[in-house]
Amino acid sequence: MTDTGPLKAELIAAIAATETLEQLEAVRLNALGKKGLISTQLKALGGLAPDERRQAGQALNVVKEEIGVALAERQAVLKRAELADKLASETIDVSLPARATTNGRTHPLSRTIEEISAIFSDMGFSIAEGPDIETDFYNFTALNIPPEHPARQEHDTFYLNPDKTGTRPVLRTHTSPVQIRTMLNTPPPIRIIVPGRTYRSDHDATHSPMFHQCEGLVIGEGIHMGHLKGCLIDFCRAFFGVKDLPVRFRPSFFPFTEPSAEVDIGCRRVDGGLEIGAGDDWLEILGSGMVNPKVLENCGLNSDEVQGFAFGMGVERLAMLKYGIPDLRTFYESDLRWLKHYGFMPVDVPGLHTGLGTGGA
């Protein structure tokens, strides 16, 4: 009968002598691997007489099992030791300074839209949106700009290919079409602002083919010019952060408002720079007016029952004035150095959570 004692003793000793999981794996392969000691002996059984083969086979299988158990036990011990070592050596030094993070910045245009929205939200306005691709009706006709009206030429409109009906959709030239969509869909009272992208075929230091506007619309019974003035004076003062900012309303013309007024704020021009809030100069910042009764009627509203005012402002222009950004084109260049300089750490804008809802078209 084969004596498996020495083989077992040798392997048990080898297992006990291992100090790492790699060494243990080497011992396992040497014992149980395809060409390992036990496997070789098992293969050699074929050459024995049947009786001897059975006995030797049983003995070898017992050893194989015992070695398996010994390997598993040693593995558990070594794993525990390895973990203890790791815990001891990889301590966390909580006193180390934090690693600098490279958070993104809020783009000045997004920030400006957030600020405008926060101010109007505090006055009870909600935000309305509309499509960038508009029909001639919403962008022009319903706003009292009929086909032959000179204002159409002033808008440098981008026209798209004709649709199935043969009419050419346009990239909206202003956010005013959302006034129409809202009045057609929502019964008064209405109090909305419409921040969004607008498009005109124009490109230089102060014009971009894509730019942003924020429209405003208030419709209700008995709304008058006093409401328009109070609302826009408050807005200008809050936006520029100047409590007694001089605000002037200058007669103007827009087809969709009657009467119309351009809004100017007081400023001083010094050495090519601009100081907002003082001085004897004026700076135009937005257009406004009482909604033209024709526009109300185009939207199915009775101009004897409801009245309203509207306004529109260029977001880039407001951002350039407030944050001293000299060139409009830089807004869209995605230059990281520029964004680092003019961008904002993302923080909550005060007032943004005070009831700003969505509404309108």
What does the per-residue mask of binding to ligand DAH show for 142-161, with x meaning CB under 6 A?
Answer: --------------------
- CB of residue 312 to ligand DAH, shortest distance in Å: 2
Number of residues that bind ligand DAH (CB under 6 A): 11
Q: Does 254 bind ligand DAH (CB under 6 A)?
A: yes
- CB of residue 111 to ligand DAH, shortest distance in Å: 22
Chain positions 201 to 230 lying near ligand DAH, rule: CB under 6 A, are 215
Between 177 and 246, whose beta carbon lies closer to ligand DAH? Answer: 177
Chain positions 255 to 294 lying near ligand DAH, rule: CB under 6 A, are 257, 287-289
Q: Nearest residue to ligand DAH, using CB?
A: 312
- CB of residue 151 to ligand DAH, shortest distance in Å: 9
Between 311 and 331, whose beta carbon lies closer to ligand DAH? Answer: 311
Between 199 and 254, whose beta carbon lies closer to ligand DAH? Answer: 254
Q: Does 176 bind ligand DAH (CB under 6 A)?
A: yes
Write out the chain in H/E/C secondary structure.
Answer: CCCCHHHHHHHHHHHHHCCCHHHHHHHHHHHHCCCCHHHHHHHHHHHCCHHHHHHHHHHHHHHHHHHHHHHHHHHHHHHHHHHHHHHHHCCCCCCCCCCCCCCCCECHHHHHHHHHHHHHHHCCCEECCCCCEECHHHHCHHHCCCCCCHHHHHCCCCECCCCCCCCCCEECCCCCHHHHHHHHHCCCCEEEEEEEEEECCCCECCECCEEEEEEEEEEECCCCHHHHHHHHHHHHHHHHCCCCCCEEEEEEEECCEEEEEEEEEEEEEECCEEEECCCCEEEEEEEEEEECHHHHHHCCCCCCCCEEEEEEEEHHHHHHHHHCCCCHHHHHCCCHHHHHHHCECCCCCCCCCCCCCECCC
Rounded CA-CA distance 164/274 in Å is: 51
- CB of residue 182 to ligand DAH, shortest distance in Å: 12
- CB of residue 254 to ligand DAH, shortest distance in Å: 5
Between 11 and 228, whose beta carbon lies closer to ligand DAH? Answer: 228
What does the per-residue mask of binding to ligand DAH show for 298-317, with x meaning CB under 6 A?
Answer: ------------xxx-----
- CB of residue 196 to ligand DAH, shortest distance in Å: 12
Chain positions 6 to 35 lying near ligand DAH, rule: CB under 6 A, are none
Between 4 and 157, whose beta carbon lies closer to ligand DAH? Answer: 157
Q: Which residues bind ligand DAH (CB under 6 A)?
A: 174, 176, 215, 254, 257, 287-289, 310-312
